[in-house]
Structure 1
Amino acid sequence: MPNAVITGANRGIGLELTKQLLAKGWDVYALCRHSSDELNESNAKVVTKVDVGNPDALPNALAKIKDVKIDLLINNAGVLGKDSIDEWDPHTIEHQFRVNALGPLLVTQVLLEQLKKGAKVAHITSRMGSLADNASGGYYGYRMSKAALNAVGVSMANDLKERGIAVALLHPGYVQTEMVSYGGDISAEDAASRLLDRIEDLNLNNTGSFWHSNGEILPW
């Protein structure tokens, strides 16, 4: 069976990605800070106390899966702050950077030697990280951190291509999850299904692309 590693797998998109990959016959290593009843009831191999926003503790946390050969790594864990030009907190902005941008980079670096040749890395980013697409402003920390993640993904695609590893930057859509108080326009189940379609389409010819889960190429 192929092996997938997913961060932030205890709820929302991460949980749905876990369930759908399990249904396709994958072994899934579901990483999270704290598990959930629904995740525990799945057949995933649950690994708790994985905080991608804590770089000092991350290597030890990921050592729990050090013997796993990885076919697919999905960096899904993320946080959303609502800082504006008038109301902001530098600590909140820094936390978003640690989780949304630095976290995926460090997780991939720590697990790098476990990625098989031909493996795929998917970063769950956001079109809010697009400079060209920003017509509404606000959300400074979130936008900045996702733009930084996009930069990480493009560099990673270039660095890993010679190893046969393809990298995607994927916007799931406006998804009905706890992060947005369930105010989205697409269910987590549908978003996960579309994301897996994009991952299926990922190869070394389109590595480093910034995709909407519906297949649209997004502007930087």
Structure 2
Amino acid sequence: MQTILISGANRGIGLELARQFSAAGWSIVGTARRPDEATELKALPGTEVLPLEATDPSSIDELVSRLGGRPIDVLIANAGVAIHLEATPVEVTREDFLAVLATNSFAPLALAGALKPNLLAGQHRVAAAMSSLMSSITANDWGTQYTYRASKTGLNALWRALAMEWRSIGITAVLLRPGMVATRMTGYRGIPVEMSVAGMKMVVERLTPADAGRLIGYDGSDVPW
């Protein structure tokens, strides 16, 4: 059975990813900061819920220990955060800036690095991280969202480097763009989460090593850097 590990799987996009991959017969490892509260995730067939605070190296170490050498076919580093999206430059605080970068940039890289042996033991060997159109420099023609943009642009740079390093060992690292999805983060504005996830699931299932380093939208199109 194919196994996918999804971080931040207790709600929103992460939960829908778990739901759709579970329905397709995959074995799911979903992480949550508070597993006891992840009741919908726990109810999915073939799903194991494990604790993870993605910004805490000791929590990542604990996750790796719990997994042992279990093969992971696909990793989706989905956990993310947005703080004060409408803050003006003078309202952006160092504390908020570093907190967003810790979750959206550092945590996915740390998680992928820690799970490298598990990915190598899998068959698909895919490491995906959740990016955004907000990461694009060339597509930014309206400003705002300073901390979130910086965190996702940083993630792009990190993941592209990871893709170039790991392609020689057979791990395909890609970035996914879910679109503006109607979740709590967006105030439930945007496209249905089911539509976004169905598209990303199709992208993941069709990946080949030639896709390493791409930033791919839920519709399969390349997102401009």
**Normalized against structure 2, the TM-score is what?**
0.93
SS class of match (2:100): helix
Residue identity in the other structure for 1:155:
A
- 2:9–2:30 contact (8 Å) kept in structure 1: yes
Partner of 1:25: helix, strand, or coil? coil
The answer to whether structure 1 residue 27 and structure 2 residue 30 are counterparts is: no
Q: Report the residue type matching 1:95 in the other structure.
A: A
Structure 2: runs of 5+ lacking an equivalent:
none
Q: Which amino acid aligns with 1:88?
A: V
Which is further off, 52-61 or 99-108? 52-61
- 1:66 corresponds, among 44, 68, 76, to 68
Unaligned runs of 5+ in 1: none
Note closer, same or farther for the CA distance 1:153–1:199 as it changes in structure 2 (3 Å cut).
same
CA contact (8 A) 1:10 1:30 kept: yes
Q: Shift in Å at residue 56 of structure 1?
A: 4.0
Aligned residues: 218
SS of match in other structure, 2:219: coil
CA distance in 1, matches of 2:41, 2:123: 29
In 2: Cα distance, 1:174 partner to 1:219 partner? 16
Structure 1 counterpart of 2:18 = 18
State the Cα deviation string for residues 169-212 of structure 1 (Å, max 9, x = none): 1110000111111122x111111111111112221112111111
Which AA in structure 1 matches 2:211? N
* 4+ long deviations beyond 4 Å: none
Determine the C-alpha separation between the residues in 2 that align with 1:199 and 1:74: 10
2: CA distance between counterparts of 1:201 and 1:42? Answer: 24
Q: Report the RMSD for the aligned CA atoms in angstroms.
A: 1.3
The structure in which a higher percent of residues are helix is: 2
2:49 is aligned to 46
For 1:219, the equivalent position in structure 2 comes to 224
CA contact (8 A) 1:53 1:95 kept: no
SS in 1 for 2:163: helix
Q: What secondary structure is seen at the aligned counterpart in 2 of 1:205?
A: helix
Q: Does structure 1 retain, via aligned residues, the 8 Å contact 2:61–2:114?
A: yes
Instruction: Give % identity.
Output: 32
1:117 offset after TM fit, Å? Answer: 5.4
